[in-house]
Amino acid sequence: MSAVLISPGELREVLADKRLRLLDVRWALGDPDGPQHYLDGHIPGAVFVDLETELASPPSPARGRHPLPDPAQLEKCARSWGLCDGDPVVVYDATGGMAAARAWWLLRWAGVADVRILDGGLPAWTGAGGPIATGAEADPEPGDVELSPGRLPVIDADAAARWQGVLLDARAGERYRGEVEPIDPRAGHIPGALSAPTAENLDADGRFRTADELRDRFAGFGSGPVAVYCGSGVTAAHQIAALAVAGVEAALYPGSWSQWSNDPKRPVATGN
């Protein structure tokens, strides 16, 4: 299994590599100011990537809030970031990889072999004394990457409904239990799913827990094939990255709760 993470120190060692593609994927629910955050300070050479428009198709009740992007459109965007076949890619955000993992997963799904998440994101970079650039970067030379989607496992709602292995719900526990639902039309979780909040993949410094710690965490959910969902398929990618660190391959349910809860035919469970 390919390496998932890169430390700030390791990134500094390769930052001068002209083939390196560095993607700033700062996005958070309720925070539309990612482009401004990028202008205010980013890792030198990074290209800002807009999660809503470049890493997802338009939302709909039938497909969810962040459907997978059209492959041709994703390839067009990747070329606009300067990505060529064989280029190494590092993705980062300022929220422990919660948004950057979406870019990591999509590019791996589309056949880009060398994609890593900056462990700890921008806070870890600045904390380690890494340089920061402000304002806009020059537009990169267009790349020529050819993407070939389907390299990572994906399931749909029907497969989630009949999943025979371990189905993990990566949302916060109170949303899983149905105590609150701030976004989607119904509260609760997919029957049979287990609560595994994504935030618990990280330590107190916002870095991924060690491989041994993550192995212990996920072993507690039982054995069998693993699939993951969240609210809209974004933070579930972080869970899949954490599982990959632990040496476990997992499938993504892209529509996630935002699709499931919009379908009145789908049953909903609440509580633990």
Question: pLDDT per residue over 97-139, tens digit each?
Answer: 999 999 999 999 999 999 999 999 999 999 999 999 999 999 9
Question: pLDDT value at position 58?
Answer: 96
Question: pLDDT value at position 2?
Answer: 60
How far apart are the C-alpha atoms of 143 and 60, rounded to whole Å?
31
3-state secondary structure of 154: strand
How far apart are the C-alpha atoms of 152 and 4, rounded to whole Å?
14
- 239 touches 196 (CB < 8 A): yes
How far apart are the C-alpha atoms of 83 and 99, rounded to whole Å?
19
- Flag residues of the chain having pLDDT under 50: 1
Active-site residue identified among 230, 236, 240, 252: 230
- 1 touches 245 (CB < 8 A): no
Question: pLDDT value at position 152?
Answer: 97
Task: Mark whether 230 is an active-site residue.
Answer: yes
- Quick one: tokens of 87? 């280029």
- 116 touches 50 (CB < 8 A): no
Question: pLDDT value at position 34?
Answer: 84
Q: Enter the pTM of the model.
A: 0.96
